[in-house]
Amino acid sequence: MATTLKEILLDSSRRPSVVTDLEGLVDAEVSDKGGVSGAVVKTGFAAVKKIKPGIIPSAVDSLLDDFALALEPFYGAYRAQGGNDFGAYLTGRSDEASDALLSVTDSRAERSSRDSIKKVYSKLRPNGKKNVAEALPRLGQLIDKHAATA
């Protein structure tokens, strides 16, 4: 049985399914956004997808290793406690978990050679922590789903 996020999420036989599920998670989170800030997120998301079709699954796949590494300490502690709902565990540590995930995207955005991507990211980033925190329950459920089949 797989016990680390690397084993669960990055296994070559499982990775395509993980990427597809994460793309669905991103789409669902964006779709659920409301109000003015939600409109900004939806507009930015649409702009990114228009700039480069297929960018979301490609970005998810390219970031997956770093995301797994960033979340590994949380997953290890969760497993050590014998937890049964990683989404709830992450939500209980939303500040730290969000910061860990955003450190990955911040680093990637800084290294991007595409000004258009940097511009869109800089507009979305101020609400990034809130948006990531809101996605933690779904993210944890997704990881639990893949851990159950590992």
Give the pTM: 0.87
Sign of the Cα torsion 100, 88, 77, 16 reads negative
Q: What is the mean pLDDT of residues 83-108?
A: 96
How many CB atoms within 10 Å of residue 120?
Answer: 19
Is residue 78 over pLDDT 80?
yes
Decide if pLDDT at 136 tops 90: yes
Calpha distance 150→133 (Å, rounded): 26
User: pLDDT, tens digit, for every residue of 37-47?
Assistant: 788 878 888 88
- % of the chain surpassing 70 pLDDT: 99
Mean pLDDT confidence for 22-41: 90
**Over 90: is that where the pLDDT of 98 sits?**
yes
User: Between 75 and 49, whose confidence is greater?
Assistant: 75
Count CB neighbours of 38 within 10 A.
Answer: 15
